[in-house]
Structure 1
Amino acid sequence: MFSNGRQAGPASERIPKRKPGKGAGMLANRVERILPEDLDKGLKARWTQVQRADTAQRSPFFSLGFLQAVARHRPDLEIGILWQGQRICGFFPFHRRPGGRGVPLAGPIADYQGIVGSAGGLSAQDLLSGCGLTHYDYDHGLRGSPLMAWSAFRHTGSPLIELSAGHDAWYDARRTATSAIKTTERKMRKLTRDIGPLRFTAHDTAPDAWDSLIAWKRAALGGKGVRLILDTPWVRDVTRDIHDTDGPAFAGRMSTLRAGDRLVAVHFGMRSDAAWHWWFPAYDPAVSACSPGLGLLMMCAQQAARDGMAELDLGRGTERYKREFASATRPLCEGSLERVLAPQGAARRLRKLLHGVARDMLPERHLDLKRRAFNRLLGAGRM
């Protein structure tokens, strides 16, 4: 077990509880700040309740188990409890960084960000003030969350394999709509002939699975001057923690595909009790012509349906395989919440204005380059 690096002492000495505004009374909408270790049995139950109430929040990124895994390795994590009168309507996990900057839970590795549950009647100013933040940047917010949508400058989406009607319904529909499934099946037959029988493992604890994932990921980045995110110490610790977690509501999943005795594809992801998330896939480049990664994806979809999952989420992106295998898309958005009078807020409002103008003038590729440059300039998402 890793130490979380927190200082000892009661939570009340480290995070002052926010009181309702003057004259607001007990029924005011308000924010209460706590640390992850202050989540008692009742708060954990409420977290799970508000998450399950919204099917758009099925993702394991909204699960209590994900928060707990991150909290064990990031001492800067806090939670805003969002009250609507005497009722908790949501939870807002964030990392507190210098200068009043808030970063979404798990920042650069989080494919979903923002509030678990809802903001109730709280405005962006209420939320930031209650959490003691001046600004909060996000790039994977739910567009169905009014607070996120109203403060966004860019709309995106997360493709997913919809399994609520069962695996066969998805399979038949996509096999009719695209040649990708037929092509992948043909390549799997070739892989079997060339190397050996295929063997799928939903959660493979063999050491070569993780080692191969890292090696193949590094090889894919070779010469690009880009650091593998899984080599970042806290990310490595969080993902290994998740790998070793296997509960009914949250679990890591290291799925593998072997041809004979040879490992040809691996994927590390996680699941909630309703959704499996496609997170870190890799494959043996020596057999890339046989598309072993896509073969593994198809097997994961079948296993997810067998496990009662409503979806296999492929994560944000426009890669060809996501377009071909996805049967639905969950709307996402990118933007920022900012305090009106804070200098950091002025910079972000200017960014939104300029992005709106550029969107009508520049091709998507150039627009994306400018967006990335602004992110670096503003330190958006930096941990």
Structure 2
Amino acid sequence: MSVVRPGELGPVEIKTWREMQRSSAHLANPFLSPEFTIAMGEVSAGARVAVITESDGPVGFFPFERHGGRVGAALGGWVSLCQGIVHRSGAEFDADALLRACGLSVWEFGCLVEGQRWFRPFETLTQQAVVLEFADGYPAFLDELRGRSPKFVKSTLYKERKLGRDVGEVTSEFAVSDPEAFRLLREWKSAQYRRMGRPDRFARPWVVELVERLHAVDTPEFAGPLSMLYVDGRPVAGHFGLRTDTAMIGWFPAYDPEYARYSPGLIQHLRMVEAAAEIGVRSLDLGISNGSEYKDALCSRTVPVSEGIVRRRSAAAAAHWLRTEPVRRARRLVLDTPALYGVADRVMKRYGRLRGGRAG
């Protein structure tokens, strides 16, 4: 096994990586693609890839990020929505031996892809991510959605028609290259984070650089499409995500609050699914529901994603446990207790409103 910087991966290794993704549908997630890993390598000095080999060549690729000393985490874990080893079908790994070979005593993950049985003993929480399936095309998807969520479809399509009557023609574009549109989407999203009392991802320069690099990629195997919804030529909602040739993942959706009564984000999602289906994409992963009504309404199926920590027996791992476990247990208690989660959510939103008021 060798550990390299993402930019040191050669053409043969990248080709093998893509073949592994194509051979296992659950590994086709864009966050597991070499393009995302290479882009992370350009914005993070700690980005690494373990190339796991046997006599006949690579059997797995393990992207990770070194956070100092012997502590590591999933690559881009603060923004990545899918993590784990991309591997040959049937391959087996030993978590302790893998970390030792990477020079790590600890590896944290937050959105582990399903089927990574070698990490299962270290999982601390498993949740369900929402997936939209449209392999049979958009009309079939919409018919299925009408049968499962008739009120949602009726309401969304009515609001789209009303938006057109009240304001102007409703149009959409799946892959927008305009940097000003991308800047506007990020402004909407940052404002949403502040309203919700959540950390603003785009306040970190490395995140802005990462998404701009990914937005510039547009190949059949991988792209970072910016989808926008317009009314009378004015942008009112958008989404920046990632796609492979068959799968897409929801990442940064946002809309102009001035048009909130029309639910432009929902309209934009349906338009985006229609356009994605036309180019051969078969599914859209919206991430963990967390009680989101629109995600639950759109959901075709769910897939498990897990978080946890692999710790080897070492002084570094023990120190990490002492430093992080109390916070982790408190967070788990809040997530597992609806009353506490509701209070925490309300407090964060109130904080967001207060902070927004001071900013204004």
One-letter amino acid matched to 1:341 = S
> Structure 2: any 5+ residue segments left out of the alignment?
345-360
**Counterpart in the other structure of 1:162:** 133
Q: CA deviation at 1:200?
A: 0.6
**Counterpart in the other structure of 2:305:** 332
* 1:251 and 1:271 in contact (8 A); partners too: yes
**Counterpart in the other structure of 1:180:** 152
What percent identity do the matched residue pairs reach? 30
**Counterpart in the other structure of 2:187:** 215
TM-superposition CA deviations, 1:140-170 (whole Å, max 9, x none):
0023210232310111122111122222222
Going from structure 1 to structure 2, the CA distance change for 1:360 and 1:267 (only over 3 Å counts) comes to closer
**Counterpart in the other structure of 1:98:** 68
* Match among 52, 56, 66 for residue 26 of structure 2: 56
Going from structure 1 to structure 2, the CA distance change for 1:102 and 1:320 (only over 3 Å counts) comes to same
Q: CA deviation at 1:52?
A: 1.4
Q: Does 1:236 align with 2:208?
A: yes
Q: Does 1:263 align with 2:263?
A: no
Q: Does 1:112 align with 2:109?
A: no
Give me the TM-score of the superposition, normalised by structure 2.
0.86
**Counterpart in the other structure of 1:16:** none
One-letter amino acid matched to 2:239 = H
Alignment of 1:13-32 (within 5 A): 31-32=1-2
Quick one: distance in 1 between partners of 2:229 and 2:195? 27
* Match among 178, 191, 212 for residue 206 of structure 1: 178
* 2:77 and 2:110 in contact (8 A); partners too: no
Quick one: distance in 2 between partners of 1:327 and 1:364? 28
TM-superposition CA deviations, 1:146-195 (whole Å, max 9, x none):
02323101111221111222222221111111121111000000000011
**Counterpart in the other structure of 2:36:** 66
Q: Does 1:191 align with 2:163?
A: yes
Q: Does 1:139 align with 2:110?
A: yes
Going from structure 1 to structure 2, the CA distance change for 1:363 and 1:274 (only over 3 Å counts) comes to same
Quick one: distance in 1 between partners of 2:328 and 2:35? 38
* 2:26 and 2:114 in contact (8 A); partners too: no
One-letter amino acid matched to 1:147 = W
RMSD (Å), alpha carbons: 2.7
Quick one: distance in 2 between partners of 1:352 and 1:274? 38
Quick one: distance in 1 between partners of 2:217 and 2:267? 25
Q: Does 1:273 align with 2:245?
A: yes
Going from structure 1 to structure 2, the CA distance change for 1:312 and 1:364 (only over 3 Å counts) comes to farther
Q: CA deviation at 1:57?
A: 1.2
Quick one: distance in 1 between partners of 2:52 and 2:142? 41
**Counterpart in the other structure of 1:130:** 101
Going from structure 1 to structure 2, the CA distance change for 1:367 and 1:133 (only over 3 Å counts) comes to farther
TM-superposition CA deviations, 1:239-285 (whole Å, max 9, x none):
00111111111111111010112211011112111111111011110
1:183 match: secondary structure = helix
Q: CA deviation at 1:339?
A: 0.6
1:308 match: secondary structure = coil
**Counterpart in the other structure of 1:47:** 17
Give me the TM-score of the superposition, normalised by structure 1.
0.81
Q: CA deviation at 1:358?
A: 5.9
Q: CA deviation at 1:121?
A: 3.1
* 1:218 and 1:228 in contact (8 A); partners too: yes
1:121 match: secondary structure = coil
One-letter amino acid matched to 2:38 = Q
Q: Does 1:88 align with 2:58?
A: yes
Moved more, 317-326 or 338-347: 338-347
Quick one: distance in 2 between partners of 1:60 and 1:206? 22
* 1:143 and 1:149 in contact (8 A); partners too: no
**Counterpart in the other structure of 1:18:** none
Q: CA deviation at 1:328?
A: 1.1
**Counterpart in the other structure of 1:323:** 296
Quick one: distance in 2 between partners of 1:257 and 1:146? 41
Quick one: distance in 2 between partners of 1:347 and 1:68? 28
Going from structure 1 to structure 2, the CA distance change for 1:198 and 1:354 (only over 3 Å counts) comes to closer
* 2:190 and 2:200 in contact (8 A); partners too: yes
One-letter amino acid matched to 1:244 = A
* Match among 299, 303, 306 for residue 275 of structure 2: 303
Quick one: distance in 1 between partners of 2:319 and 2:26? 31
Quick one: distance in 1 between partners of 2:237 and 2:74? 30
Going from structure 1 to structure 2, the CA distance change for 1:207 and 1:35 (only over 3 Å counts) comes to closer
Quick one: distance in 1 between partners of 2:53 and 2:232? 56
